Amino acid sequence: MDLIVCMKRVPDSAAKIKVAADGKSIEQAGVDHVISPYDEIALERAIQIKEEQGGTVTVMCLGTSDATKEIRQALAMGADKAVLIKDGGGSRGPLGIARALADAIKERPHDAVLFGRQSIDADNSAVGVIVARLLDLPCATLVTKLDMADGKANVHRESEGGTEVIEVALPAVFTAQRGLAEPRYPAIKGIMMAKKKPIEELDAPEPAGTLSLDALTPPADRTGGRIVGEGPEAVGELVRLLRQEAKVL
Amino acid sequence: MAAVLAFIESHDGKLKKSAGEVMGQAQRLAGSLGGGVDAVIVGAGVAGLADDVAALGADRVFVADSDAFGTFTIDGFTPAVMLAVTASTPKLVLLAASVSGKDLAPAVAAASSSAILTDVTEIEAADGKVSVVKPVYAGKALAKVSATSDTVVATIRPNVFEPIAPEAGKSATVETLDVGTPDIRTVIKEVLAKASEKLDLTEADVIVAGGRGLKDPANWHLIEELAESVGGVVGASRAVVDAGWRPHEEQVGQTGKTVSPKLYIAVGISGAIQHLAGMRTSKCIVAVNTDPEAPIFTVADFGIVGDALEVCPVLTEELKKLRS
């Protein structure tokens, strides 16, 4: 099985996000970066499948050379090689991101392409589906179980009605939901080996410029902090406030 | 040519609440985009809902009715919606950022080479161009983004926009889409653990979420009973999901679901940054926690300092009284 996992470098979910002075980006100081958590789940499952049945796992990342640290992390977990598609900047949007990835995926063997269900910075939940469409591959999103055999994948995915059990012929695109796999911590041996694994660099195509980011602002402050009282005795007053003041009951 | 094409969702033979939210924004924006509003509805046995869609103010309603559409699939729904896009040639295709909408919108954007704007909480049109406010970093920041392309696909966050009320007597031209037999490559073998009639968290009006303060998974029934008493859906903190008390689909927060219900009741949740990011846009937040310094109180409209195990049953009883 030749598997490609697309990953993004993002601020850690525990990071405080502050808008920078330019009003269009975030303060980088004190912000740790990680492989976007859902991408990491996809990567873990891909590595497990490779370990079970052989093949290769290639991680693919659109970003700047800053992402090299997160790519090495992916290689230390067990990916075999990496492709860094160097983004020269500019506003790309999900369609532009997907085009850059699809161009690179097309040129490489892929029995399946895995994504996280969304990145935890842009929160679009769109790139995986678009890549599938651009490559004319079937796509299952929010995948919580993924097995591959005999040119087919058996999938569990989260849907509105419950868990759908799906069969799909490979190659196909999958986006990972929590529950699919628990990402491993790289072992020392993996970290040593990762240093020797190849990172191929490509230049991203010029962004088509379908979106422009005009401003980034902090969310409106909530004026919270009103303590109604202590213990069960406060419930009566709480219910009165919810009815008469907030009018939500 | 229509200015806006609205994708209408239905469930169990009725339009979903999001239909009113999407149509409300479609009508508000259509004028600035120089045209009217068309709508498209896709499903099994949905032809009879065309009048309900007309009552929300569509000029034309495109209907794709086939047994193949009994369950949402990207492969089934995308070509059906694209037929409507081709007939309608809208500047903007508008959908709800529901579970299906999040799958369908990017596929339609790719198929029509349109810019895509997702899960927006504000949307405006001026001089034929669409601009939005979209939460990023799970709501830790808001991005103001404008589309520079000719056509745009956008999804609106459920529960944020006021739904438009249907007006009986409004009529629309109904056009049936000839969908043929769609080639659905993702074959659904079965659906497990059908979550009864429960709404997805992202579409719920009321959410009751529990955390570590419940002390033991055996106490989780307190959260379920409280949710029941107020007609709400159950959510969970990352801590209890990681501990294996609750399934991940109940998790609220940056690595779970981002929600904005009318009422969010957080019980025994201290309020980690990533949790607050996922629920801070709720209209009214209630917090119950033993620690008066817990960060959850900084975003709560009303707080009770107390033990979840003591407060929860009393609150459940009081709310039940209101309903009876």
Helix (H, G, I), strand (E, B) or coil at B83: helix
| Residue B283 placed within a domain | yes
CA distance B301 to A248: 12
Tens digit of each residue's pLDDT (9 = 90 or more) over A51-65: 999 999 999 999 999
| Number of CB atoms found within 10 A of residue A28's CB | 11
Q: What is the pLDDT of residue A207?
A: 84
| Residue B182 placed within a domain | no
| Residue B301 placed within a domain | yes
Give the distance from residue A7's alpha carbon to the nearest chain B alpha carbon, in angstroms. Answer: 16
Place of tokens 């020797």: A196
CA distance A137 to B26: 31
Segment 251-280 of chain B within 8 Å of chain A by CB: 251, 253-256, 258, 262-263, 272-274, 277, 280
Closest alpha carbon to A201 in A86, A93, A35, A96: A86
Chain B residues close to A130, C-beta within 8 Å: 106-107, 109-110, 116
Query: What do you get for the CA distance between the two ends of chain A, in Å?
Result: 55
CA distance A234 to A249: 17
Q: Could you tell me where the DSSP H helices lie in B57-135?
A: 74-88, 99-111
Answer yes or no: do B149 and B275 share one domain: no
Answer yes or no: do B53 and B170 share one domain: yes
Q: What is the pLDDT of residue B194?
A: 56
Q: What is the pLDDT of residue A223?
A: 80
Chain A residues close to B71, C-beta within 8 Å: 159, 161, 164
Question: Based on the structure, what is the number of domains in chain B?
Answer: 2
Distances in whole angstroms, Cα of residue A94 to Cα of each of B25, B113, B258: 23, 11, 19
CA distance B234 to B238: 13
User: Looking at per-residue confidence, does B96 or A225 come out higher?
Assistant: B96
Q: A219 and B280 in contact by Cβ < 8 A?
A: yes
A37, A217, A224: residue with CB nearest B285: A224
Chain A residues close to B258, C-beta within 8 Å: 123
What average pLDDT does the segment A213-227 reach? Answer: 89
Place of tokens 């709310």: B319
Q: What is the pLDDT of residue B193?
A: 72
In the predicted model, residues of chain B with pLDDT beneath 70 are: 194-198
Taking phi first (over 0 means left), then psi (-120 to 50 degrees means alpha), and beta for anything else, what does residue A234 get?
alpha
Laid out side by side, the sheet with A56-63 consists of A199-203, A81-86, A56-63, A2-7, A112-116, A172-176, A139-149, A152-159, A162-169, B187-192
Render the burial of A221-234: b for 16+ CB within 10 Å, e for the rest.
Answer: eeebeeebbeebeb
| Residue B254 placed within a domain | yes
Distances in whole angstroms, Cα of residue B37 to Cα of each of A5, B25, B136, B210: 40, 10, 29, 42
Segment 81-100 of chain B within 8 Å of chain A by CB: 98-100
Residue B242 forms contact with A (CB below 8 Å):
no
Pairing of strands B122-126, B129-136: antiparallel
Answer yes or no: do B171 and B218 share one domain: no
Answer yes or no: do B170 and B36 share one domain: yes
| Residue B194 placed within a domain | no
Answer yes or no: do B122 and B230 share one domain: no
Chain A residues close to B78, C-beta within 8 Å: 133
Q: What is the pLDDT of residue B203?
A: 87
Q: A165 and B322 in contact by Cβ < 8 A?
A: no
Answer yes or no: do B212 and B137 share one domain: no
Answer yes or no: do B152 and B10 share one domain: yes
| Residue B285 placed within a domain | yes
Answer yes or no: do B272 and B165 share one domain: no
CA distance B90 to B32: 13
CA distance B285 to B263: 6
What average pLDDT does the segment A118-122 reach? Answer: 95
CATH of the domain at B119: 3.40.50.620
Answer yes or no: do B294 and B167 share one domain: no
Q: What is the pLDDT of residue B4?
A: 98
Q: Chains A and B: how many Cβ contacts under 8 Å?
A: 275
Tokens (6 digits) for A97: 């991101």
Answer yes or no: do B149 and B234 share one domain: no
Q: Which residue, among A99, A222, A223, A243, would best test binding to B if mutated, counting the most B CBs under 10 Å from its CB?
A: A222
Closest alpha carbon to B48 in B203, B240, B176, B218: B176
Residue B323 forms contact with A (CB below 8 Å):
no
Answer yes or no: do B11 and B131 share one domain: yes
Residue B193 forms contact with A (CB below 8 Å):
yes
Q: What is the pLDDT of residue B324?
A: 76
Place of tokens 């990023």: B136
Query: What does pLDDT average to over chain A?
Result: 95
Q: Give the structural domain span for B240.
A: 201-323
Query: What do you get for the CA distance between the two ends of chain B, in Å?
Result: 51
pLDDT of A208 above 80? no
Segment 88-147 of chain A within 8 Å of chain B by CB: 93-95, 98, 120-127, 129-130, 132-134, 138-142, 144
What residue in B sits closest to A138 (Cα-Cα)? Answer: B185
| Residue B192 placed within a domain | no
Distances in whole angstroms, Cα of residue B289 to Cα of each of A75, A167, A230, B106: 42, 45, 10, 40
Laid out side by side, the sheet with B129-136 consists of A211-217, B141-147, B129-136, B122-126
Q: What is the pLDDT of residue A3?
A: 98
B138, B185, B301: residue with CB nearest A169: B185
Q: So what's the architecture of A2-203 in CATH?
A: 3-Layer(aba) Sandwich (3.40)
Q: What is the pLDDT of residue A225?
A: 77
| Residue B190 placed within a domain | no
Answer yes or no: do B21 and B82 share one domain: yes
Q: Could you tell me where the DSSP H helices lie in A54-139?
A: 68-77, 93-106, 127-134
Share of chain A above pLDDT 70, in %: 100
Residue A30 forms contact with B (CB below 8 Å):
no
B71, B116, B241: residue with CB nearest A95: B116
Q: What is the pLDDT of residue B160?
A: 93
Taking the mean position of all CA atoms in its chain, how far away is CA B24?
A: 15
Pairing of strands B36-43, B2-8: parallel
A129, A158, A236: residue with CB nearest B74: A129
Residues A11 and A119: beta-carbon distance below 8 Å:
no
Half-sphere exposure of A205 (CA within 13 A, CB side): 13
The interface predicted TM-score of the complex, written ipTM, equals: 0.94
CA distance B99 to B73: 11
Q: B138 and A13 in contact by Cβ < 8 A?
A: yes
CATH of the domain at B285: 3.40.50.1220
